[in-house]
Structures are given as structure tokens and as C-alpha cells.
Amino acid sequence: MFLQAEIYVFETEDMMEEIFDETGGILGFIGLDKDYVEGIFVRGDVRSQSIGKQLLDFVKQKRKRLELNVYVKNKRAVQFYEREGFCIQREGKDAETGEKEYCMLWIK
């Protein structure tokens, strides 16, 4: 059995269908499993252009709460999520990698 997940791909500020550059490449997307953010991915050459924020804002409109895990060493991501209203709930370890990670929560 396959798990159901939602994936939103960035197109414009008003629409989240698909965003492609001139070569047809996707610039960013966000994956959700219920209220859990599986990941936000923004192509390296277009980071710091608000694509991740807009993807997150889009799913915040659809949910009352969001949860995610982020590696402690990924300070840039931790700061981004804190800026977007997420709070650290606890620190743990990723079972597969052994990396320290934060479980973070956002509530509308």
C-alpha cells in the first residue's frame, strides 16, 4: 500500500501548480503528509527569492497546524522555520542517519 501525500509545486504568488524555468525545470516544491511537512525543496540557484516562504504560506492556508523535523546543524533552515512561526518542541535523533534534529510545530 502506498501512503498518500500532497505535493505543491511553485508557479506564481497566486497559484501553486508548477513553476518551470526557461528549460522546464521545477524551481521548488513542498510535500505534506497530513499535517507533517515532509520537506521544502528550492533549487539552489533560486534560493533566497521567497519561493520557500510562499510554498509554506500556501500550505499554512490549508492547515491549522504543521509539524516538521529539521537537522540541528541546518541552522539556516531552523532560522527560516522560526521566522515563519515554528517553535522547537523537542530535540531528538534521526533514526536513519543518527543526526540530531528538532521537531518543530506551527499552530495557526
Long-range contacts of 32-40 (CB under 8 A, 24+ apart): 32/5, 32/6, 32/7, 32/8, 32/59, 32/63, 33/3, 33/4, 33/5, 33/6, 35/63, 35/64, 35/65, 35/66, 35/67, 36/66, 36/67, 36/68, 37/66, 37/67, 37/68, 38/5
pTM (predicted TM-score): 0.78
Place of cell 521548488: 28
**pLDDT exceeds cutoff 80 at 18:** no
The model's confidence at residue 36, banded by pLDDT at 50, 70 and 90, is: very high
Mean pLDDT across 69-87: 97
**pLDDT exceeds cutoff 70 at 7:** no
